[in-house]
Amino acid sequence: MTTGRAGYGPDEFQRDLGFDVSRETLTRLETHKRVLAEWSEHTNLVGPKELELFWSRHALDSAQVLQLAPSAKRWVDLGSGAGFPGLIIGAFLAERGPDVSVHLVESTGKKARFLEEVAREAGLPAKVFNERIEVFRAGQGPYEVVTARALAPLNRLIPYAKPILDRGAIGLFHKGADLDAELAAAKDVLEGGAFRADVLESLSDPRGRIVRVTRVP
Protein backbone atom coordinates (compact mmCIF):
# COMPACT_ATOMS: atom_id res chain seq x y z
CA MET A 1 0.00 0.00 0.00
CA THR A 2 1.26 3.49 -0.82
CA THR A 3 0.61 6.08 1.85
CA GLY A 4 0.53 9.77 1.08
CA ARG A 5 -0.86 9.26 -2.42
CA ALA A 6 -2.40 12.37 -3.98
CA GLY A 7 -6.17 12.41 -3.74
CA TYR A 8 -6.33 9.96 -0.84
CA GLY A 9 -9.41 10.80 1.24
CA PRO A 10 -12.30 9.29 3.19
CA ASP A 11 -13.35 6.91 0.39
CA GLU A 12 -9.89 5.42 0.06
CA PHE A 13 -9.54 5.30 3.85
CA GLN A 14 -12.73 3.26 4.16
CA ARG A 15 -11.71 0.95 1.31
CA ASP A 16 -8.28 0.21 2.78
CA LEU A 17 -9.58 -0.17 6.31
CA GLY A 18 -11.70 -3.06 5.11
CA PHE A 19 -14.97 -2.39 6.89
CA ASP A 20 -17.81 0.11 6.55
CA VAL A 21 -17.42 3.45 8.25
CA SER A 22 -20.60 5.35 9.02
CA ARG A 23 -21.20 8.88 7.75
CA GLU A 24 -21.33 10.05 11.37
CA THR A 25 -17.92 8.56 12.12
CA LEU A 26 -16.44 10.17 9.00
CA THR A 27 -17.89 13.49 10.14
CA ARG A 28 -16.20 13.09 13.53
CA LEU A 29 -12.90 12.31 11.79
CA GLU A 30 -13.32 15.37 9.56
CA THR A 31 -13.78 17.46 12.70
CA HIS A 32 -10.53 16.08 14.07
CA LYS A 33 -8.76 16.95 10.82
CA ARG A 34 -10.18 20.49 10.75
CA VAL A 35 -9.32 21.32 14.37
CA LEU A 36 -5.87 19.78 13.91
CA ALA A 37 -5.23 22.10 10.95
CA GLU A 38 -6.42 25.13 12.92
CA TRP A 39 -4.33 24.38 15.99
CA SER A 40 -1.23 23.38 14.02
CA GLU A 41 -0.92 26.96 12.81
CA HIS A 42 0.17 28.03 16.32
CA THR A 43 0.86 24.81 18.25
CA ASN A 44 3.50 22.14 17.64
CA LEU A 45 1.17 19.27 16.72
CA VAL A 46 1.91 18.26 13.11
CA GLY A 47 3.47 20.01 10.14
CA PRO A 48 1.72 20.91 6.84
CA LYS A 49 3.02 17.79 5.08
CA GLU A 50 1.68 15.55 7.85
CA LEU A 51 -1.72 17.21 7.61
CA GLU A 52 -1.84 16.12 3.96
CA LEU A 53 -1.36 12.54 5.19
CA PHE A 54 -4.25 12.65 7.67
CA TRP A 55 -6.33 9.95 5.94
CA SER A 56 -3.67 7.82 4.27
CA ARG A 57 -1.20 7.62 7.10
CA HIS A 58 -2.50 8.81 10.44
CA ALA A 59 -6.21 7.91 10.41
CA LEU A 60 -5.71 4.54 8.71
CA ASP A 61 -2.73 3.66 10.90
CA SER A 62 -4.75 4.53 14.01
CA ALA A 63 -8.08 2.94 13.07
CA GLN A 64 -6.62 -0.46 12.19
CA VAL A 65 -6.17 -1.36 15.87
CA LEU A 66 -9.96 -1.43 16.29
CA GLN A 67 -10.03 -4.66 14.29
CA LEU A 68 -7.59 -6.24 16.75
CA ALA A 69 -9.95 -5.70 19.70
CA PRO A 70 -13.40 -5.36 18.09
CA SER A 71 -15.42 -5.84 21.26
CA ALA A 72 -13.31 -3.65 23.57
CA LYS A 73 -15.19 -0.77 25.17
CA ARG A 74 -12.58 0.79 27.49
CA TRP A 75 -9.39 2.06 25.89
CA VAL A 76 -6.50 4.20 27.11
CA ASP A 77 -3.98 5.96 24.86
CA LEU A 78 -0.59 6.98 26.26
CA GLY A 79 1.12 10.11 24.96
CA SER A 80 -1.85 11.09 22.80
CA GLY A 81 -0.27 14.20 21.22
CA ALA A 82 -2.23 15.05 18.06
CA GLY A 83 -4.80 12.35 18.81
CA PHE A 84 -3.31 9.35 17.01
CA PRO A 85 -4.61 6.80 17.73
CA GLY A 86 -6.73 7.99 20.68
CA LEU A 87 -9.07 10.48 19.00
CA ILE A 88 -9.48 8.20 15.98
CA ILE A 89 -10.51 5.35 18.29
CA GLY A 90 -12.94 7.69 20.02
CA ALA A 91 -14.54 8.63 16.71
CA PHE A 92 -15.45 4.99 16.12
CA LEU A 93 -16.44 4.22 19.70
CA ALA A 94 -18.91 7.11 19.76
CA GLU A 95 -21.60 5.05 18.04
CA ARG A 96 -21.07 1.87 20.04
CA GLY A 97 -23.27 2.63 23.03
CA PRO A 98 -23.16 4.60 26.28
CA ASP A 99 -20.63 2.45 28.13
CA VAL A 100 -17.60 3.10 25.88
CA SER A 101 -14.67 5.40 26.58
CA VAL A 102 -11.13 6.24 25.59
CA HIS A 103 -8.84 7.96 28.08
CA LEU A 104 -6.12 10.15 26.61
CA VAL A 105 -2.93 10.75 28.60
CA GLU A 106 -0.91 13.79 27.52
CA SER A 107 1.58 15.68 29.69
CA THR A 108 1.90 18.81 27.51
CA GLY A 109 -0.76 21.35 28.42
CA LYS A 110 -1.37 22.78 24.94
CA LYS A 111 -1.71 19.32 23.42
CA ALA A 112 -4.09 18.27 26.19
CA ARG A 113 -6.27 21.31 25.49
CA PHE A 114 -6.27 20.43 21.79
CA LEU A 115 -7.44 16.91 22.60
CA GLU A 116 -10.22 18.31 24.79
CA GLU A 117 -11.30 20.67 22.00
CA VAL A 118 -11.59 17.90 19.41
CA ALA A 119 -13.40 15.62 21.86
CA ARG A 120 -15.89 18.39 22.63
CA GLU A 121 -16.51 19.48 19.04
CA ALA A 122 -16.76 15.94 17.67
CA GLY A 123 -18.77 14.55 20.58
CA LEU A 124 -16.31 11.81 21.45
CA PRO A 125 -16.53 9.54 24.53
CA ALA A 126 -13.06 10.73 25.54
CA LYS A 127 -11.51 11.99 28.77
CA VAL A 128 -8.18 13.79 28.79
CA PHE A 129 -5.61 13.41 31.58
CA ASN A 130 -3.06 16.24 31.48
CA GLU A 131 -0.35 14.43 33.44
CA ARG A 132 2.74 12.34 33.02
CA ILE A 133 2.28 8.63 32.34
CA GLU A 134 4.31 7.81 35.46
CA VAL A 135 1.72 9.72 37.51
CA PHE A 136 -1.27 8.29 35.64
CA ARG A 137 -0.11 4.69 36.16
CA ALA A 138 -3.27 2.48 36.00
CA GLY A 139 -5.54 5.52 35.73
CA GLN A 140 -9.25 4.91 36.09
CA GLY A 141 -8.98 1.31 34.96
CA PRO A 142 -9.28 -1.49 34.45
CA TYR A 143 -9.00 -0.96 30.71
CA GLU A 144 -9.32 -3.53 27.98
CA VAL A 145 -6.74 -2.03 25.61
CA VAL A 146 -3.77 0.32 26.02
CA THR A 147 -2.33 1.99 22.92
CA ALA A 148 0.63 4.20 22.06
CA ARG A 149 2.01 5.50 18.78
CA ALA A 150 5.45 7.08 18.32
CA LEU A 151 5.82 7.46 22.07
CA ALA A 152 8.90 5.48 23.14
CA PRO A 153 10.88 2.34 22.29
CA LEU A 154 9.48 -0.90 23.72
CA ASN A 155 12.03 -1.13 26.55
CA ARG A 156 10.55 2.12 27.95
CA LEU A 157 7.01 1.74 26.65
CA ILE A 158 6.24 -1.60 28.32
CA PRO A 159 7.20 -0.29 31.79
CA TYR A 160 4.98 2.76 31.15
CA ALA A 161 2.07 0.46 30.30
CA LYS A 162 2.83 -2.22 32.91
CA PRO A 163 0.34 -0.98 35.57
CA ILE A 164 -2.40 -1.20 32.92
CA LEU A 165 -1.23 -4.49 31.41
CA ASP A 166 -1.02 -6.02 34.88
CA ARG A 167 -4.76 -5.40 35.29
CA GLY A 168 -5.65 -7.42 32.21
CA ALA A 169 -5.40 -4.99 29.29
CA ILE A 170 -3.75 -5.91 26.01
CA GLY A 171 -1.23 -3.51 24.52
CA LEU A 172 -1.47 -2.50 20.86
CA PHE A 173 1.58 -0.45 19.99
CA HIS A 174 2.45 1.02 16.58
CA LYS A 175 6.04 0.41 15.56
CA GLY A 176 8.25 1.02 12.53
CA ALA A 177 11.18 -0.43 10.64
CA ASP A 178 13.50 -0.58 13.68
CA LEU A 179 11.25 -3.03 15.53
CA ASP A 180 13.76 -5.90 15.60
CA ALA A 181 16.25 -3.75 17.51
CA GLU A 182 13.51 -2.62 19.89
CA LEU A 183 12.45 -6.20 20.62
CA ALA A 184 16.04 -7.19 21.31
CA ALA A 185 16.47 -4.26 23.70
CA ALA A 186 13.19 -5.08 25.44
CA LYS A 187 14.04 -8.65 26.45
CA ASP A 188 14.60 -7.68 30.07
CA VAL A 189 11.37 -5.69 30.41
CA LEU A 190 9.42 -8.57 28.91
CA GLU A 191 10.37 -10.17 32.23
CA GLY A 192 11.60 -13.48 30.94
CA GLY A 193 8.19 -14.59 29.73
CA ALA A 194 5.81 -12.60 31.96
CA PHE A 195 4.70 -10.68 28.86
CA ARG A 196 4.25 -11.97 25.34
CA ALA A 197 4.87 -9.75 22.31
CA ASP A 198 3.27 -10.72 18.98
CA VAL A 199 4.21 -8.81 15.82
CA LEU A 200 1.34 -8.09 13.42
CA GLU A 201 1.31 -6.62 9.92
CA SER A 202 0.28 -3.00 9.43
CA LEU A 203 -2.45 -1.95 7.00
CA SER A 204 -1.02 1.50 6.44
CA ASP A 205 2.70 0.96 5.87
CA PRO A 206 4.57 -2.12 4.60
CA ARG A 207 7.45 -1.18 6.93
CA GLY A 208 5.17 -0.73 9.93
CA ARG A 209 4.02 -3.25 12.51
CA ILE A 210 1.60 -3.49 15.38
CA VAL A 211 3.05 -5.11 18.49
CA ARG A 212 0.44 -6.83 20.63
CA VAL A 213 1.61 -7.24 24.22
CA THR A 214 -0.27 -9.47 26.65
CA ARG A 215 0.48 -10.68 30.13
CA VAL A 216 1.10 -14.44 30.24
CA PRO A 217 -1.25 -16.12 32.78
pLDDT digits (tens, 9 = 90+) for 144-170: 999 999 899 999 999 999 999 999 999
What CATH number did the domain enclosing 59 receive? Answer: 3.40.50.150
Encode pLDDT of 18-64 as tens digits.
988 999 999 999 999 999 999 999 988 988 888 999 999 999 999 99
What are the helix and strand counts (H, E) for the chain? 9, 7
Strand pairing of 209-215 and 170-175? Answer: antiparallel
CA atoms within 13 A on the CB side of 207: 6
Q: Is 217's pLDDT higher than 90?
A: no
Do the domain assignments include residue 5?
no
In a domain, 141, yes or no: yes
pLDDT in tens, 160-202: 999 999 999 999 999 998 999 999 999 888 877 789 999 999 9
pLDDT at residue 48 in the model:
85
Q: For residue 2, is it within any domain?
A: no
Residue 111 amino acid letter? K
Number of domains in the chain: 1
4 belongs to a structural domain: no
CA distances from 113 to 39, 78, 100, 182 (A): 10, 15, 21, 32
What's the helix, strand, coil split of the chain in %, to 5?
A: 45, 20, 40
Q: Are 158 and 190 in contact (CB under 8 A)?
A: yes
Residue 188: the pLDDT is 87
Instruction: State the pLDDT at residue 5.
Output: 61
pLDDT digits (tens, 9 = 90+) for 93-136: 999 988 999 999 999 999 999 999 999 999 999 999 999 999 99
Residue 86 has pLDDT above 80, yes or no: yes
- Which pLDDT belongs to residue 6? 62
Domain-embedded: residue 3: no
Amino acid at 126: A
* CA angle 2–202–189, rounded 5-degree value: 140
Looking at the domain assignment, is residue 142 inside a domain?
yes
pLDDT value of position 189: 87
Alpha-carbon distance 68 to 85, whole Å?
Answer: 13
**Structural domain includes residue 1:** no
Nearest-angstrom CA–CA distance, 214 and 144: 11
Domain that holds residue 71: 10-215
Phi-psi region at 171: left, alpha or beta (left = phi > 0; alpha = psi -120 to 50):
beta
